[in-house]
């Protein structure tokens, strides 16, 4: 999760850096956007070529370098070369170094890189934070304290509510998801990089306040993070008690299905389709185009992305059908014959999520506060969707146990006084056969009333 967040942060940093240089008003022109995308694509294509073809074949030759001094010089040269290539492509230099680390991560040279360059890493990090600290003026804290008091709760909602929800729906357990969100509350290099870029961007009127805000914000979040990590289990149990039963059931079905698809496993019962991956890549690219354009191009990009999002509903339902048939949902209260309904539920859940993100990217340019209404409507729509499919998927046996207020016939019969003559094999002090049947039936009914999905 940390690596994925850093990867997405690097992509956003590239796009924000390009937009901050080229923006003259709201959005950018088609030529500027095309030039930025071409440079961005060429940079990614080059490093993909290195990772797939060049590095795996040349790593064995690099291992033959016995001299540590020569190896360090080679490593630093690779870092500077990749950073220069990134700058030539219109991408921040730090992303070039980041991608170089990703390329060498899967090779046997990674351990040697780590052991030989640790001292350089510590020195450069210390220098980086020294320079960032010099940009912070403590006298400006009173003017930014109001913004910090608003930003901290918003960040906590995102990391302790939204991120754990996404992690749980992706297949992680509830405790692991909350622990993941708590550990991500600490803000570090990404916030500082955004602040450094924002303070120097063209057209920024209060750039001097960005660095003090980032410093104070990171300091407060770093103090809160250990406390949240310590009480993450209690937070997880509290969230489980608040959720309604149909939301727990729908989330558990979604988590079990997506966990089989996304999480690594030594036993694969199905083959993951390529259409899902290609559709997600196309959606992500279209989302970036919608966020970066304006005017008629903005509307056209939104229309194309909307058509792609609607198509994903049918595509996901088709691709998920064999996956759902191979998963057992009986202990989640779902009818074993409802694989088609489960596939449609999961496809609708994913499509609603993609549609909500697309609407936010489209509306934000015109009225940012409408994005809050879109997210509130999205949450309400998901709850209604889970409630509907909870009624459809619930097992008939469980439905009768929960909905019927009338006592079971066996309990009514147990109230009658029946003559019973103990058999010769029955020992004194042991329950009679009739009492055993009544006790087993009562236990079974109590068990049906204790379904827990988290």
355 pLDDT band, cuts 50/70/90, is very high
449 pLDDT band, cuts 50/70/90, is very low
Nearest one of 143, 150, 155, 147 to 190, comparing CA atoms: 155
Residues 101 and 29 in one domain: yes
The mean-pLDDT minimum among 3-7, 201-205, 219-223 falls in 201-205
Residues 8 and 115 in one domain: yes
Distance CA 349, CA 74 (A): 49
The more confident residue out of 273 and 72 is: 72
pLDDT at residue 201, as a whole number: 57
Domain that holds residue 91: 1-134
Mean pLDDT of 336-345: 77
Distance CA 148, CA 206 (A): 15
The mean-pLDDT minimum among 94-103, 175-184, 201-210, 240-249 falls in 201-210
Token readout for 9 is 């942060």
pLDDT at residue 356, as a whole number: 93
Domain assignment of residue 303, yes or no: yes
Mean pLDDT of 410-429: 47
Distance CA 437, CA 432 (A): 9
Domain assignment of residue 255, yes or no: no
**Radius of gyration of the chain, Cα coordinates, nearest whole angstrom:** 29
7 pLDDT band, cuts 50/70/90, is low
Torsion sign (Cα): 410, 413, 417, 423: negative
Q: Give, in order, the Cα–Cα distances in Å from 263 to each of 4, 166, 171, 191, 203.
A: 14, 14, 7, 29, 44
Whether residue 292 is predicted with pLDDT greater than 90 in this model: the reply is no
Residues 1 and 130 in one domain: yes
Residues 121 and 177 in one domain: no
Using one digit for the tens of pLDDT, what is the confidence trace for 206-252? 667 778 888 888 888 888 989 998 998 999 898 888 888 889 888 98
Mean pLDDT of 306-318: 88
Mean pLDDT of 34-48: 74
Angle between helices 109-134 and 210-230 (to 10 degrees): 130
pLDDT at residue 293, as a whole number: 82
Residues 129 and 8 in one domain: yes
Residues 347 and 279 in one domain: yes
Whether residue 193 is predicted with pLDDT greater than 60 in this model: the reply is yes
Whether residue 257 is predicted with pLDDT greater than 60 in this model: the reply is yes
pTM score: 0.68
Nearest one of 366, 387, 144, 77 to 244, comparing CA atoms: 387
Mean pLDDT of 54-83: 83
The mean-pLDDT minimum among 7-11, 124-128, 386-390 falls in 7-11
Backbone region of residue 417 per phi and psi (left: phi > 0; alpha: psi in -120 to 50; beta: other values): beta
The more confident residue out of 172 and 453 is: 172
Name, of 191-205, 347-361, 394-408, 414-428, the range with top average pLDDT: 347-361
Domain assignment of residue 20, yes or no: yes
Give the burial class of 25: count Cβ atoms within 10 A of its Cβ; 0-12 exposed, 13-18 middle, 19 or more buried: exposed
CA 25 to chain centre: 32
Residues 173 and 214 in one domain: yes
204 pLDDT band, cuts 50/70/90, is low
The more confident residue out of 214 and 450 is: 214
Q: Give, in order, the Cα–Cα distances in Å from 29 to each of 84, 89, 92, 130.
A: 26, 19, 21, 38
Residues 12 and 112 in one domain: yes
Let me know: does 96 contact 85? Beta carbons within 8 Å. Answer: yes
% of the chain with per-residue pLDDT over 90: 9
Q: Which of 109, 134, 159 is the last residue of a domain?
A: 134
40 pLDDT band, cuts 50/70/90, is confident
DSSP state letter for 107: S
Residues 236 and 300 in one domain: no
Q: Which of 108, 134, 160 is the last residue of a domain?
A: 134
Residues 232 and 177 in one domain: yes
Domain assignment of residue 259, yes or no: no
Residues 35 and 157 in one domain: no
pLDDT at residue 305, as a whole number: 92
**What ranges make up the beta strands (E) of 252-312?**
none
18 pLDDT band, cuts 50/70/90, is low
Angle between helices 274-292 and 295-325 (to 10 degrees): 160
Q: Which of 103, 134, 165 is the last residue of a domain?
A: 134
Using one digit for the tens of pLDDT, what is the confidence trace for 138-165? 888 888 899 889 988 988 888 888 889 8
Distance CA 371, CA 26 (A): 18
Measure CA of the first residue to CA of the last residue in the chain; give whole Å: 21
The count of structural domains within the chain is 4
Let me know: does 337 contact 265? Beta carbons within 8 Å. Answer: no
55-82 burial code (b ≥16 CB/10 A, e <16) = beeeeeebeebeeeeebbeebeebbeeb
pLDDT at residue 268, as a whole number: 59
The mean-pLDDT minimum among 106-115, 272-281, 393-402 falls in 393-402
Domain assignment of residue 57, yes or no: yes
Domain assignment of residue 261, yes or no: no
Residues 2 and 130 in one domain: yes
Q: Hey, which residues does 394 pair with through a beta bridge? A: 334
Mean pLDDT of the chain: 76
Domain assignment of residue 248, yes or no: no
Give the burial class of 386: count Cβ atoms within 10 A of its Cβ; 0-12 exposed, 13-18 middle, 19 or more buried: buried
155-172 burial code (b ≥16 CB/10 A, e <16) = bbeebbeebbbebbbbbb
Distance CA 227, CA 232 (A): 9
The more confident residue out of 360 and 319 is: 360
The more confident residue out of 299 and 12 is: 299
Domain assignment of residue 249, yes or no: no
DSSP 198-264: HHTSTT-S-GGGHHHHHHHHHHHHHHHHHHHHHTHHHHHHHHHHHS-HHHHHHHHHHHHHHHHHHS-
């Amino acid at each position: 999760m940390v690596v994925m967040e850093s990867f997405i942060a690097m992509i956003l940093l590239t796009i924000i850096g390009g937009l901050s240089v080229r923006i003259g008003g709201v959005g950018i022109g088609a030529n500027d956007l095309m030039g930025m995308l071409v440079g961005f694509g060429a940079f990614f294509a080059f490093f993909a070529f290195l990772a797939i073809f060049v590095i795996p074949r040349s790593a064995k030759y690099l291992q033959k370098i016995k001299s540590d001094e020569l190896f360090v010089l080679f490593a630093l040269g690779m870092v500077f070369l990749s950073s220069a290539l990134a700058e030539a492509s219109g991408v921040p230099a730090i992303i070039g170094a980041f991608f170089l680390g990703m390329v060498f991560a899967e090779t046997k040279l990674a351990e040697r890189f780590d052991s030989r360059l640790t001292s350089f890493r510590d020195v450069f990090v210390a220098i980086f934070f020294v320079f960032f600290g010099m940009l912070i003026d403590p006298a400006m804290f009173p003017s930014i304290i109001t913004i910090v008091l608003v930003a901290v709760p918003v960040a906590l909602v995102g990391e302790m509510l939204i991120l754990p929800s996404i992690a749980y729906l992706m297949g992680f357990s509830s405790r692991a998801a909350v622990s993941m969100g708590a550990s991500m509350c600490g803000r570090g290099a990404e916030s500082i990089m955004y602040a450094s870029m924002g303070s120097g961007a063209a057209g920024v009127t209060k750039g001097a306040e960005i660095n003090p805000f980032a410093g104070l914000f990171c300091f407060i979040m770093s103090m809160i993070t250990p406390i949240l990590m310590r009480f993450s289990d209690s937070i997880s149990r509290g969230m489980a008690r608040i959720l309604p039963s149909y939301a727990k059931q729908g989330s558990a079905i979604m988590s079990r299905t997506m966990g089989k698809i996304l999480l690594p496993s030594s036993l694969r019962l199905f083959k993951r389709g390529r259409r899902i991956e290609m559709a997600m890549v196309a959606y992500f690219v279209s989302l970036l185009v919608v966020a970066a354009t304006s005017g008629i191009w903005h509307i056209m990009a939104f229309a194309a992305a909307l058509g792609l999002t609607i198509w994903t509903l049918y595509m996901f339902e088709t691709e998920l059908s064999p996956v759902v048939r191979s998963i057992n949902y009986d202990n989640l209260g779902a009818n074993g014959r409802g694989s088609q309904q489960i596939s449609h539920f999961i496809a609708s859940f994913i499509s609603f999520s993609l549609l909500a993100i697309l609407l936010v990217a489209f509306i934000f340019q015109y009225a940012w506060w409408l994005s809050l209404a879109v997210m509130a409507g999205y949450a309400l729509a998901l709850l209604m969707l889970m409630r509907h499919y909870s009624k459809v998927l619930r097992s008939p046996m469980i439905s009768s146990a929960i909905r019927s207020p009338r006592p079971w016939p066996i309990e009514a019969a147990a109230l009658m006084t029946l003559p019973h003559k103990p058999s010769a094999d029955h020992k004194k002090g042991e329950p009679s056969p009739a009492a055993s049947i009544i006790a087993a039936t009562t236990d079974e009914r109590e068990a049906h009333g204790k379904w827990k999905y988290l």
